Amino acid sequence: MASVLVVEDDQFVRSALIRHLSDAAHTVRSVGTALEALREVAQVGFDVVILDLGLPDLDGAEALKMLRGITDVPVIIATARDDETEIVRLLNAGADDYLVKPFSVAHLSARMAAVLRRTRGAEPGTGGGERVLRVGGLAIDPLRRQAELDGVLLDLTRREFDLLAFLARRPGVVVPRRELLAEVWQQSYGDDQTIDVHLSWLRRKLGETAASPRYLHTLRGVGVKLEPPERDGDL
């Protein structure tokens, strides 16, 4: 059971979502505008937010950015916009997942379950007593969900942390993209660009680029690996 905020201005869609989620034993609150959503999130703790983009007072993408300024609650975008550029923009703005309308309630349930597994500490391969993972100057604490680089705390989103921690459990091993989608995103299929976007964010925070990698190395057509940078004396 989860506490869910539905942000949807279409009364028919809104009622259907409330009914379905309530039948699944979730606690549901709903609003029809972005400003109401921001007020609700600021005052009430939610496990997940389902956010429509076509809101009457503010575009949902802008609302998402404002939400990210006050909370890291998982946000699933519900949108009729299926343009790839738009989807990437939403991921860049901090969305945890997205669904293109029309979607089935079963599809929504599966995506919600995947998001909730991640946010409730069930990230891939994590055990309750897992020790700090160290790769070069990186120190990753799965229990506290914190990562440091050379002693400096990294400001990572939930998905960035999940991706970094998963790779850190297998340092030097090339992990196929399909495996990353299955284990980090809990999806059996998806667009490689989703992975590329998150890798780009992560690289910036690690102080590197795809052209000049230090920790994150992409093997075209194969996968991704995390390994410590070579020391100057080894070059």
Cα 157 to Cα 36: distance, rounded to the nearest angstrom: 24
pLDDT score at 99: 87
Higher-confidence position of 167 and 80: 167
Q: Let me know whether 81 and 144 are in one domain.
A: no
Q: Let me know whether 145 and 107 are in one domain.
A: no
Q: Let me know whether 86 and 32 are in one domain.
A: yes
Residue 126 domain-assigned (yes or no): no
The helix/strand/coil state of 42 is helix
Residue labelled with tokens 């914190």:
146
Cα 205 to Cα 74: distance, rounded to the nearest angstrom: 21
pLDDT digit string, tens, across residues 89-107:
787 778 888 888 888 877 8
> What single letter denotes the amino acid at residue 149?
L
Which residues in 87-119 are b (16+ Cβ under 10 Å) and which e? beebbebbbbbbbeeeeeeeebeebbebbbebb
Residue 128 domain-assigned (yes or no): no
Q: What is the DSSP string of 85-103?
A: HHHHHHHHTT-SEEEESS-
pLDDT score at 149: 94
Model confidence band, residue 188 (pLDDT cutoffs 50, 70, 90): low
Residue 169 domain-assigned (yes or no): yes
Domain span at residue 21? 3-119
Model confidence band, residue 130 (pLDDT cutoffs 50, 70, 90): low
Q: Let me know whether 96 and 63 are in one domain.
A: yes
Model confidence band, residue 49 (pLDDT cutoffs 50, 70, 90): very high
Is 144's pLDDT higher than 50?
yes
pTM of the model: 0.56
What tokens appear for 65 in the block?
A: 């950015």
Q: Let me know whether 20 and 83 are in one domain.
A: yes
Length of the chain: 235
Cα 105 to Cα 230: distance, rounded to the nearest angstrom: 49
Among candidate residues 119, 146, 172, the one where a domain is terminated: 119
Q: What share of the chain is helix, strand, coil (3-state, %, to 5)?
A: 40, 20, 40
Q: Let me know whether 115 and 159 are in one domain.
A: no
Q: Let me know whether 146 and 185 are in one domain.
A: yes
pLDDT score at 148: 94
Cβ count within 10 A of residue 222: 11
Are 33 and 50 within 8 A, CB to CB?
no
Q: Let me know whether 30 and 64 are in one domain.
A: yes
Are 166 and 124 within 8 A, CB to CB?
yes
Are 194 and 202 within 8 A, CB to CB?
no
Residue 127 domain-assigned (yes or no): no
Among candidate residues 67, 96, 119, the one where a domain is terminated: 119
pLDDT score at 212: 92
Residue 161 domain-assigned (yes or no): yes
Q: Let me know whether 19 and 115 are in one domain.
A: yes
Q: What is the CATH number of the domain that holds 99?
A: 3.40.50.2300
Q: Let me know whether 42 and 113 are in one domain.
A: yes
Total domains, the chain = 2
Is 230's pLDDT higher than 80?
no
What mean pLDDT comes out for the span 9-28? 89
E strands, the chain, are 3-7, 27-31, 48-52, 75-79, 97-100, 133-135, 138-141, 146-149, 152-153, 175-176, 216-219, 223-226
Among candidate residues 63, 91, 119, the one where a domain is terminated: 119
Higher-confidence position of 8 and 68: 8
Q: Let me know whether 147 and 88 are in one domain.
A: no
Mean pLDDT, rounded, of the chain:
83
Q: What is the CATH number of the domain that holds 217?
A: 1.10.10.10
Residue 225 domain-assigned (yes or no): yes
Which helix (H) or strand (E) is 196 found in, with range?
helix 192-205
Is 15's pLDDT higher than 70?
yes
Are 195 and 187 within 8 A, CB to CB?
no
Residue 104 domain-assigned (yes or no): yes
Residue 124 domain-assigned (yes or no): no
Higher-confidence position of 231 and 170: 170
Q: Let me know whether 25 and 113 are in one domain.
A: yes
